[in-house]
Structure 1
Amino acid sequence: MTTRSIYVVDDDQSIRAALQSLLSTRPNLMIFGFRSGDEFLAHVDEHAPGCILLDYEMPGLNGLEVLRQISKLPRKFGVIILTGQGATSVAVQAWKLGALDFLEKPCDPATLLQVVENTFQTIEQDHRAALLAERARSAIEGLSAREKDVLTGLVEGRANKVIAHELGISPRTVEIYRANMMQKLDVRSLSEALRVAFAAGLMPAD
């Protein structure tokens, strides 16, 4: 199992210690504590991707201000905001800034552990999707201009004859480009080729 990183950002030492103690019951979890959002952000580029338990009320930058800074970075953190009871407006703002969840203190331990697990699953799904998109874009960059034209036509739902007419080439030539394109993308069917295209961000024209 891969080691995961979690960051507990809370100015209350007793709460921070309690959260770290609870989280230490989970396997393969590296836990890091921070007394303020400013302290966490000071070395944010050095932190491994992971989950952040982020207190809202802290001296210096509050939780939403920290979240606003994190939202400007490449996506590598999943943030759970922790607040006092009844802070609905904070929850709404947190969602808008990209928080994955929101918990009121004091948190039920089982609920907190489940929310943390859900957050890690979301982070890992996002990471896999990003890797897939990067590989798809790289594969498509390896196509010739004509092969890309044929792929674009297929993405937009056109038949070989229609693509041939639009490109001013014969249907047989389209078939050759299509076969070469599929070989370079390492796919065996049109559906697999379309899956690569969509992963790379090639969407049908309106």
Structure 2
Amino acid sequence: MQNVQPEAEIAVEPIVYVVDDDEEMRGALLDLFTVTNKRASAFSNGPEFLKAADVGVPGCVVVDFRMPGGTGLDLQSALASLGSKMPVIFLTAYADIPTSVRAMKAGATDFITKPFVNQDLLDAVDHAIRLNGERRKADAEVDRIQALIDTLTPREREVMYAVVTGLMNKQVAFQLGISEMTVKLHRMSLMRKMQSRSLADLVRKVEHVQRERNQS
């Protein structure tokens, strides 16, 4: 199993991972994705997939819900524990409402019943790949802002978090027990390090990181 890595600067073609113990179904799905110009790779079970696949690349996972050696939900849980945000699309011949609700609550993007219409699955895959792209961009932005925050001194961080709550320099100085001039100097320094030309931009960056971290 390859570690989840940050998105590379160069574009990487999304991949559709197929995980299904039915050899005939695996072959049919690979043919479907190949003729529709999608990069795809198939595995017969979850452990095999987790051992060999790189879930750090863009794409999604199309997985049979019931398989020997672990269910699709087990695989979904394993992906989450590894930090992967690859969307999961479940295929099943035994759909029921509680199971589908459980899968969707765990983060599945679609729950498709066999037999299915090919276009329905292709639409689901396109949606999942778009969603994955959006997630990766959001994560990259969070990492970029966090890298800027990491360049701040402990005191600069204190000043920043106080300032973004709306406190004036005089109020920040009183709260931290330092002079107003010291606050101004720290504020000038942190604005430069955060690459922010305005308070509004600084607030946006801090709130963006906090919001994304809370949702993770």
Residue pairs, 1:63-142, within 5 angstroms: 63-84=72-93, 86-142=95-151
- The 10-residue stretch of structure 1 (99-108 or 194-203) with the greater mean CA deviation from structure 2: 194-203
1:183 aligned partner: 192
Q: 1:51 to 1:136 in 2, by over 3 A?
A: same
Please point out which of 29, 47, 50 is paired with 1:19.
29
Please give the secondary structure, in 1, of the residue aligned with 2:39.
strand
SS at match of 1:166: helix
TM-score by length of 2: 0.83
Aligned pairs for 1:159-170 (under 5 A) are: 159-170=168-179
Q: How does 1:28-39 map to 2 (within 5 A)?
A: 29-39=38-48
1:201 paired with 2:210, answer yes
Q: Does the alignment pair 1:7 with 2:17?
A: yes
Give the number of equivalent residue pairs. Answer: 201
SS in 1 for 2:70: coil
Shift of 1:74: 1.0
Conservation of the 8 A alpha-carbon contact between 1:78 and 1:120: yes
Are residue 150 (structure 1) and residue 155 (structure 2) matched?
no
Separation of aligned partners in 2, 1:150 and 1:202:
20
Deviation of the 1:87 alpha carbon = 2.1
Change (3 A) 1:178 1:48: closer
Percent identical across equivalent pairs? 33
For structure 2, list consecutive stretches of 5 or more residues without a partner in the other structure: 1-10
Contact 1:71 1:98 in 2 (8 A): no
Q: CA RMSD in A?
A: 2.2
| Paired residue type of 1:133 | V
CA drift of 1:31 comes to 0.6
Within 2, Cα distance between the matches of 1:168 and 1:64?
A: 52
Asked if the contact 1:155–1:202 (Cα under 8 Å) also holds between the matched residues in 2, the reply is no
- Cα deviation, residue 8, structure 1: 0.8
Deviations 1:58-87 (A, max 9, x none): 222122222222221112421111112542
Note if contact 2:19-2:45 (Cα within 8 Å) is conserved in structure 1.
yes
State the shift of 1:202 in Å. 8.2
Distance verdict in 2 for CA 1:184–1:19, change over 3 Å: same
Q: CA deviation at 1:5?
A: 1.1
Change over 3 Å in CA distance of 1:178–1:47 after alignment to 2: closer
User: 2: distance between equivalents of 1:184 and 1:52?
Assistant: 39
Return 68-77 or 186-195, whichever deviates more: 68-77
